[in-house]
């Protein structure tokens, strides 16, 4: 069951095409031996299925969305949100905070949180008009509530931070999860063959259960102001030039900031063509009006801000 807080979200306008496959929302259950799937395909299916279900509506709303979307300055003032100082400020992200005060309500999609919600709580506490929507299939609602307790979240703050312990896919499926060889790393990944991760799946990983597109379409906001993506290497496929769905979404969405944690270390031991993944992601975002505003000291967390309208290359193959 999803958090009851999700029910208070604004209903989304528009309906999915009747001929489209439903977008699946998958929740957690104990993992079963013999499962096989890919975390990369798992996250990519979100964008492909959104395009399949809303393709015509997205195209029809392009002019309205782009004309009403906010543009930021390429040198907008930045500030650090979240992080744990005693742990090398792990979990910190840099954003342009003034943008979160521009509208009556701002919605932040936080995709991939693991065991750290300092960024999400910092948003909620510093911007009383903000609502953070957290997605992560590797932890449960109970574990998320424990993270809220650890942050001493108030009742009012809990009303503005929603958690969904599932991922987004196209059908019933299961994913084997892999655990790091480093005991200090508690996060799991469903991408097999990662350097430093065990070759055999972690037996307590989740089985995924499907919900329909109609279920989520009535529970999430239509407008996303800031998108944060930390998906353990899947970002290279999610924002791939070959993924027309994400390009169409960026073209029509009013999102003005995109935060991505790049996991170059995950692909350095693979084919050389994959190493250029970060450059390809940057090109996709640039064609859709985004430029780099800030890069963290580790070079992994990057803030992109929308400073221009999308070019035709944003959606053209």
Stretch 114-133: mean pLDDT, rounded?
94
The two three-digit tokens of residue 156, written as one number: 């009012």
- DSSP result, 238-287: HT-TT-HHHHHHHHH----EEEEE--GGGTTTS-HHHHTHHHHHHHHHHH
pLDDT score, position 243: 78
Domains and CATH numbers, the chain: 4-10+19-314 (3.40.50.150)
Averaged pLDDT for residues 284-308:
95
**Helical segments of 127-239, H only:** 141-150, 155-159, 213-217, 235-238
- Cα 28 to chain centroid, rounded: 18
What is the average pLDDT across 277-285? Answer: 91
CA distance 84 to 124: 17
Element (H, E) at 309: none
Residue 187 pLDDT level (bands cut at 50, 70, 90): low
pLDDT (tens digit per residue) in 230-261: 877 778 877 888 878 778 878 877 889 999 99
pLDDT at 124 over 90: yes
Q: Rounded to an integer, what distance in angstroms lies between the CA atom of residue 289 and that of residue 196?
A: 36
pLDDT category of residue 202 using cuts at 50, 70 and 90: low
DSSP state of 97: G
Which parts of the chain fold into alpha helices (H)?
A: 39-60, 62-68, 118-126, 141-150, 155-159, 213-217, 235-238, 244-252, 272-275, 277-287
Output the six-digit token pair for 145: 């509530």
- In whole angstroms, what separates CA 80 from the centre of its chain? 19
Lowest pLDDT segment from 5-19, 57-71, 209-223: 5-19
Q: Among residues 105, 109, 149, which one has the least CA distance to residue 132?
A: 109
Out of 8-17, 152-161, 275-284, the most confident range is: 152-161
The pLDDT assigned to 130 comes to 95
Cα separation, 255 vs 124, in Å, equals: 18
User: Mean of the pLDDT values across residues 181-207?
Assistant: 57
Q: What angle do CA 263, 265, 268 make, to 5 degrees?
A: 120
- Report which DSSP code applies to 99: G
Please tell me whether residue 68 adopts helix, strand or coil conformation: helix
pLDDT score, position 39: 46
Tens of pLDDT along 18-56?
A: 333 333 333 332 222 333 334 444 444 444 444 444 444
Q: How far apart are the first and last CA of the chain?
A: 39
Residues 51-60: pLDDT tens digits?
444 444 333 3
The SS3 of residue 171 is: coil
Q: What is the pLDDT of residue 242?
A: 83
Span 257-271, average pLDDT: 76
């Amino acid at each position: 069951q999803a958090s009851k807080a999700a029910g208070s979200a604004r209903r989304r306008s528009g309906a999915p095409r009747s001929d489209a496959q439903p977008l699946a929302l998958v929740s957690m259950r104990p993992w079963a031996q013999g499962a096989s799937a890919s975390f990369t395909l798992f996250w990519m299916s979100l964008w492909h299925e959104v395009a399949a279900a809303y393709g015509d509506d997205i195209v029809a709303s392009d002019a309205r969305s782009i004309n009403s979307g906010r543009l930021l300055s390429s040198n907008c003032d930045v500030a650090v949100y979240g992080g744990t100082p005693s742990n090398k400020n792990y979990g910190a992200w840099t954003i342009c905070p003034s943008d979160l005060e521009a509208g009556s309500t701002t919605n932040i999609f936080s995709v991939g949180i693991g065991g750290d919600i300092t960024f999400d709580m910092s948003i909620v506490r510093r911007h009383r008009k903000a609502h953070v929507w957290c997605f992560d299939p590797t932890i449960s609602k109970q574990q998320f509530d424990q993270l809220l307790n650890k942050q001493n979240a108030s009742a009012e703050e809990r009303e503005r931070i929603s958690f969904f312990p599932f991922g987004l896919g196209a059908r019933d499926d299961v994913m084997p999860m892999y655990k790091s060889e480093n005991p200090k790393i508690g996060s799991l990944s469903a991408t097999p063959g990662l350097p430093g991760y065990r070759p055999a799946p972690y037996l307590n990983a989740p089985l995924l259960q499907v919900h329909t597109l109609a279920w989520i379409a009535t529970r999430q906001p239509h407008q996303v102001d800031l998108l944060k993506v930390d998906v353990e290497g899947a970002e290279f496929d999610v924002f791939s030039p070959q993924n027309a769905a994400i390009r169409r979404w960026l073209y029509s969405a009013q999102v003005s900031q995109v935060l991505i944690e790049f996991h170059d270390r995950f692909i350095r031991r693979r084919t050389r063509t994959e190493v250029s993944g970060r450059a390809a992601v940057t090109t996709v975002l640039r064609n859709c009006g985004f430029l780099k505003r800030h890069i963290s000291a580790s070079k992994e967390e990057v803030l992109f801000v929308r400073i221009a309208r999308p070019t035709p290359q944003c959606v053209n193959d």
